[in-house]
Every structure is written in structure tokens, then in C-alpha cells.
Structure 1
């Protein structure tokens, strides 16, 4: 089986070599970049995950993540590695499309476990289309039939509600701005107000009942699905 390729981006060369050695020992293929600028030159769709330091000389990890998502339009999972661990920094990371956040210092075992967890969680894109389902506790989303089952009961959702829900559940704990939803869900519509997103999410929460509490509003940032 082909080894999954990971890109490690950190200006600490020794740390990069340690991560490369250990992750390759776990069966991954690992590329290294010692700056965001270097990483942007070598990154490709072949990379299945990025381990990205936030505080680097030159371009920051946050800025690189923004370029990867908004300019290169690559949806590669990103795990931030950083000495910063305040709530605001975490929210900034998640709002830029981070899939996880590991504060330094960390153990190599922790990094390995987080990498495997994120790859497993985002692995639906690699499944055969007939098996494309997402499960989150008692919630099951079938991406082929467009059916949603909660506690063994079908939940009737509109097309927009289904796409909002599936977008969030595919990337739990990731914050999506209202603009993100408008770009992803209202692709064929004309001018749509951001308030429209709030209305649809309110309806979606109501249909999900108690389970709707997992859809959380991060004031000033957007919405996320919290496990």
C-alpha cells in the first residue's frame, strides 16, 4: 500500500529531522520545509497532511495556511505546531482551516497519534462512493443518498441544511465563517446575505433537537461542529 505523504514545516531543523524519522518509522513518507516560503514551492495534492509551525521567520504558519486554503484552494488537513496555546490563537488557527492544534513542547507519540486521528477523520474522501458515510455519535450522514439518521430516526433536511451539516461534521472542531458557507453551499446562487446562513443553522439545530447543541457559534468567527 502506498505510504501517505506528510509535509512538515518548521524553522527548527532538528525538530523537523526528529519528526521525519519518527513519522517515517510509523510508515509515512515525509517531506521537510524549513520555512513557509519553501513549503509553498513544494506542496502538492500528493500531501495528505501538513504539520505546520505557527511562529517562523518570514511568513507565519497562519499566513501560509491562509494561502493554502484561499489562494491554492488545497483542502489538505493542517495540524498547527506552536508554542502559543491561548484560546484566541487556537480560534485563529481553526478559522483558517486547521484540523488540529498541538502546543509545544509535545511528545512524538502525541504527534503521531494526532496525525493518525486526523487522517482517519478526514479519510472519507478516499472511500468508495458507495460507502461514503460520516458518523458522529448517534448521527449518520450518507453522502450518496443524502439521508441523515439520528438515533435511528430519519431527519428531513433541505439541500442547504444537508450541505451545511455535512460540511461541519466532515471537519469536527473546525470553525467555518459565514463566508465559507456561502462559498461552499450557495455556489449557484446570486447575492446572498450572511444572515441567511444564521437562519439555516437555526432551523438545522431545531430539526436536530438536543443533538443541535453540537453546532456551536464562535462569536466573531463562525460556526463549528463540536464532538
Structure 2
């Protein structure tokens, strides 16, 4: 018996907050057109005729980008054409750059198997799923994207070790170090400090786990 569904956050043809239950092990999503048999269809013209498919096999749900023209994103991660990744409870799905926004809900999921504990694993208060680029704080998803997520992932790679300012700058701002002219566009210390400050704010009380090593760099404590 299936206990999963999609909650519509935004999408033409459905009311905001509407639930779309899974009635079988496969849900084909797209734009309705003549001769196109879909399980879920949206009227937005930016949605492809066959945009994405969600499937369940042995209790594991996955989503696949069916070569859609305007793309599929899961928790901010863009899927390549025909790329398939697992779905977990409360994963956020964006179709066609936000033309359709959905939340995947799996009532039977006991936990995110691919999630790696970062801090206080016995309490499961702060967790990260690297593959899905998803951060959970006390079970609630925290929407991090861009350089905030890259910085957190990089510090987590070196958990409990100081990462130098220069290492962070090269990892988080690679575009500054790959100019075709061969010139390096300096990343100022104030710019780095501001990024760390804002990330700490986003992490709330867990922001204090990002520790400053004066004159050296930053470290993420367990």
C-alpha cells in the first residue's frame, strides 16, 4: 500500500497546498496534450509534454528528468537529461525553473538512508545529505543554495580540521581563479567573512559550530 504523495506549492491546474496521492508505483508528470497519457498534468506552457517521472521500486522512490526542455531540480540540484536520483521525505522539486513547485511526502520513510550525521548524531539535530544537497535541522529542511551550501559542504569534508582562508576562497570562488587571461581576481577577506557570517545566521543556534581560527581559517566542529 502506497503512502506517498506530492504537495503542490505552485502549479497551474492545482490549488496551492493540494495533495496528489500515488495510486501506483509510477507517476508520469508533464503538460497535457492530445494523445499524451499522464498521471499528473500541468497547464503551464514551460512544462514539457513528458517532463519527469517518479517511480517506486522496493520501497525506494526516485525521480528522473525525461529530457525536459526547462529542467528538473531537487533541493536546488539540477538533474541532467535522463538522470535519476532518489527522493526522500520533504524533498523539494522544481520543474521548469519554478513554474511548478512540489514537495514529495513519504509517510512510510523512517529516515534518509543517505543522510550523514554532522553534529550530535545521537540527537539527529543537524544532518546533511550530500547527494541531494539537503540540510535538515531537527528534521526540518533548511533551504541553502549557491555558495552557502558549497561552504558548508567543504567545511564538512574537513570536519574538526581547520581549513585555510585560501583553500576556502579557491573552492567557493573557482571562477576567480580560472580567468582565461590567467589573472587571479582576489577574493577579499571581508567577502569571505561576510559569507561565513550569513551562513552562521542561516544555521541559527548551530552556526556556532563554525569556529574561527584567527589568522588561519575556519573549522566545522562535530
The two structures have a TM-score, normalised by structure 2, of: 0.41
Greater helix share, 1 or 2? 1
* Structure of higher CA gyration radius: 2
